[in-house]
Amino acid sequence: MNVLLIGGSGSLINSLIIKFKKEGHRVYLLTGTRQDKAPYQKVFERYNFPYDCACLNEIFESINMDLTIFLGAYDTNFKWTNEEADAVQYSSGLMNILMSYAMKNKGRFVYLSSDEVYSINSESDITENDPLTPMGVKSMLLAQAEEMCESYRVSRERDIMTLRLDHVYGVPKKRSECRDKCTRMCLEAFDEKKITANENSKFALLYETDAVEFIYRASVADSHEYSLYNISSCREKTEPEVAEMIRPHFGDETKVMSLPGEKKRIVLSNERFVSEFGKQYYCNDEGIIKNIARTMNLNKNAFWNDEEKKKSLAERVVDKGGWLIKALIPFIENLIVFIPFFLLNNKTADSKYFANLDFYLLYVLLFAIVYGQQQAVFSAVLATVGYCFRQMYTQTGFEILLDTNTYVWIAQIFILGLVVGYMRDQITKLKRESLEEKEFLSGQLGDMRDINSSNVRVKDALETQLVNQNDSIGKIYSITSALDQRSPEEVLFYAADMLSTLVKSKDVAIYNVVNDDYARLFSATSKKARVLGNSVKYRVQLSSMYEVLEDHKVFINRKMEDGLPMMANMIFDDDNRPQTILMIWTLPWENMTLGQANILVVISALIKGAVVRSTRYLQALQEKRYIEGTKVLEADAFVPLRTAFQNAEREGLAECVLLSVKAQKDDTVYTLSNKVAHLLRQTDIMGMTEDGLQILLANTTRADSAFVEKRFKNQGIDTEIVEDGVVCLRPDRVS
């Protein structure tokens, strides 16, 4: 299954990556940022794109995912220090992700919310039907995100699931990861040597490992009844209780201050989730909390280094007033440049060579070309002041106001500055728009190149997997197809050997289902694989395994129950009746995954035809090729079967003993058959050979055969073991 995980780096997403990879899924990652240095677990393919990028549709199309999980409330890309800005980015990002998913219209979408959507005190556990009570920007946004997911589910008819996690906590690696109650208390113990706890605050903690297991269980389920589930441990705790678990690890000077604060109980009810997906916790809260406190105390530097340094006065002035300084620089530059032009104009006013040269006009033109309209107007104002000041050398202020030349000159200088500045601004605007479009298209092209290169890597990886992987479909088929070349008597023996090779286990057994209650061992590759014995009442002795197998599912012994194989699968005939049980007794823990189970299903399907054909042949052999009126196989039926068992024994795939019956002078085949038949087991076979009557004791050792011979001896029947082709009964002694 192709799984797309969406979220920033952190322990939760890394745990999800490990879980899905362990279960045999192919994991893709959308990081939500262009930076590619974030510490993630290794995935099949990683996409470093923001959530609002225009190429998100192409990414979803390339991945062709079966499951999408967005970390949502636990996405570390959002720090929530500037809640308003993060809220805008979060909403737009989620909207873009949902639209891309809806357009792809494949697989399930899982959104992770949190208990933060509730803020009021509740004496009973909060169910999914209780109304949301958000308080604050983040909690309101998370509530809106849940409603957005539900709206898309209903209006677009998509498989969208919201999982609301209750007070998730984990072991942090740095200060920025301390977001839950436990780690915040540890930070308070670091900073202030005290832990403040509200006596009236009650909540339920959910450790990250349990949360990952529950998320996986719901995400991969074949179907689900509801679209919203609470995931909670329901193990209620108070803040003073948690604080007392933490305090001993930070020294005796650390105190717990229990204050009678606002009464607040927020515990989510998990009844809906448990009734549908089951309940199984792996972690003990008290031990984990103590481990968190101990780990943080032993790695103090990792948490001190992330603390923001207090900036100096100069740095704060630059941060707060930097924009004002940048805005004033052109005006200051304008004033400075005005001084030399003012002096030049005064010096050349009485010169017969430069009297007609207007330096103010050049000055305004210069700033209109360099800075545009705004500075052109400012420079025109300064030029007007300088012009009037120079005219006052020879005229009074009143005369200057009445002089039409003054207004003509002012109009000329402003018109020139405004026109040139406007043209400059328009040209700059066109260039900027062109540059922005170029950057956008270049970014799109770069994104397309990244996606294309990613697709090429995925294609190459899949090609390599198909060609080289030991458990690829091609190689499995090439191995299993070799069964068709075997004789019907040999198929089940070599099916065990082949299964052992494909699943990389030395201990494999194959049982034939005899009736509705019993299965009998046919072939095994080791002594350990024979631990259940030659016959097993599988519906009773292996009830927990059979409950899984009868639903056409692979049994995986995750609880490590004694007396059960690590993995098993059942082959059914065309009438849907149990035919054969394949058991794998030793398997590394890392291979007990959904992927390995799928491989076993493929192997079973490929060998089914040969196995069913062989079983039918053996049944027909024993039913239709008996000597008439007896339970004795004819020689041409018995000899190939005997040879198959003996060859399998030499290769360690079966155990058998061949007995030769010593007949009396007056014994016939019919009388011998009547004497011997009631002393044999259902799996034992009698047959005629050129050396007389022989009995094949299937799944029997030399030591076990002694008991059989003794039973025959008590009935007056003499037998001898046939080994290495030694003949014990001549044909002329049997009629």
Give domain status of residue 146, yes or no: yes
Predicted model pTM? 0.52
What are the φ and ψ backbone dihedral angles of 621, each rounded to 5 degrees?
Answer: -60, -45
pLDDT of 156: 86
Both 273 and 319 in a single domain?
A: no
For residue 711, name the pLDDT band (cuts at 50, 70, 90).
confident
Q: Any idea what the CATH number is for the domain that residue 67 is in?
A: 3.40.50.720
CA distance 378 to 388: 16
Q: Which residue has the tokens 């509801």?
A: 226
Give domain status of residue 255, yes or no: no
pLDDT of 171: 82
Both 514 and 538 in a single domain?
A: yes
Both 579 and 636 in a single domain?
A: no
Both 35 and 146 in a single domain?
A: yes
Q: How far is CA 422 from CA 368, 395, 416, 426, 500, in A?
A: 8, 34, 10, 6, 83
CA distance 565 to 557: 7
Give domain status of residue 153, yes or no: yes
- Specify whether the CB–CB gap between 113 and 145 falls below 8 A: yes
Q: What does pLDDT average to over the chain? A: 80
- Specify whether the CB–CB gap between 257 and 189 falls below 8 A: no
Q: Any idea what the CATH number is for the domain that residue 504 is in?
A: 3.30.450.40
Q: Any idea what the CATH number is for the domain that residue 685 is in?
A: 3.30.70.270
pLDDT of 461: 62
Both 71 and 212 in a single domain?
A: yes
What's the whole-number mean pLDDT along residues 30-59?
83
Give domain status of residue 25, yes or no: yes
> From the CB of residue 482, how many other CB atoms can be counted at a distance below 10 Å?
12
CA distance 386 to 393: 12
CA distance 272 to 146: 17
104: its two tokens: 């792809």
Structure letter (DSSP) for residue 203:
E
Give domain status of residue 618, yes or no: yes
CA torsion through residues 252, 253, 254, 259, sign: positive
Both 79 and 221 in a single domain?
A: yes
- Top-confidence residue, 550 or 487: 550
CA distance 144 to 117: 9
Rg (alpha carbons) of the chain, rounded to whole number: 42
What confidence tens digit (pLDDT) does each residue in 168-212 have? Answer: 888 887 777 777 788 888 888 877 778 888 888 888 888 888 899
Both 639 and 609 in a single domain?
A: no
Give domain status of residue 445, yes or no: no
Instruction: Label the pairing between strands 656-662 and 632-633.
Output: unpaired
User: Given 384, 408, 439, which residue is the final one in a domain?
Assistant: 439
pLDDT of 458: 65
For residue 473, name the pLDDT band (cuts at 50, 70, 90).
low
Q: Is the pLDDT of residue 690 over 60?
A: yes
Both 8 and 143 in a single domain?
A: yes
Q: Is the pLDDT of residue 468 over 60?
A: no
Quote the number of domains for the chain: 4
Contacts (Cβ under 8 Å, ≥6 apart) of 216? 16, 19, 20, 23
User: Given 622, 652, 681, which residue is the final one in a domain?
Assistant: 622
Both 514 and 430 in a single domain?
A: no
Task: State the SS3 of 431-473.
Answer: HHHHHHHHHHHHHHHHHHHHHHHHHHHHHHHHHHHHHHCCCCH
What confidence tens digit (pLDDT) does each residue in 510-520 have? Answer: 888 877 788 88
What confidence tens digit (pLDDT) does each residue in 82-93 have? Answer: 888 888 889 999
Question: Residue 214 sits in which domain range?
Answer: 2-168+205-235+265-281
Both 493 and 367 in a single domain?
A: no
User: Given 604, 622, 640, which residue is the final one in a domain?
Assistant: 622
Burial class of residue 336 (count of CB atoms within 10 Å of its CB; 0-12, 13-18, 19+): exposed
Give domain status of residue 297, yes or no: no
- Specify whether the CB–CB gap between 717 and 675 falls below 8 A: yes
Q: Which residue has the tokens 């589910």?
A: 153
Give domain status of residue 114, yes or no: yes
DSSP assignment string, 211-278: HHHHHHHHHT-S--S-SEEEE----EEEHHHHHHHHGGGG-TT-EEEEE----EEE-B--HHHHHHH-
528: its two tokens: 């350990």
Both 641 and 519 in a single domain?
A: no
pLDDT of 305: 44
Q: If DSSP codes are grouped into helix, strand and coil, which group holds residue 386?
A: helix
Both 605 and 645 in a single domain?
A: no
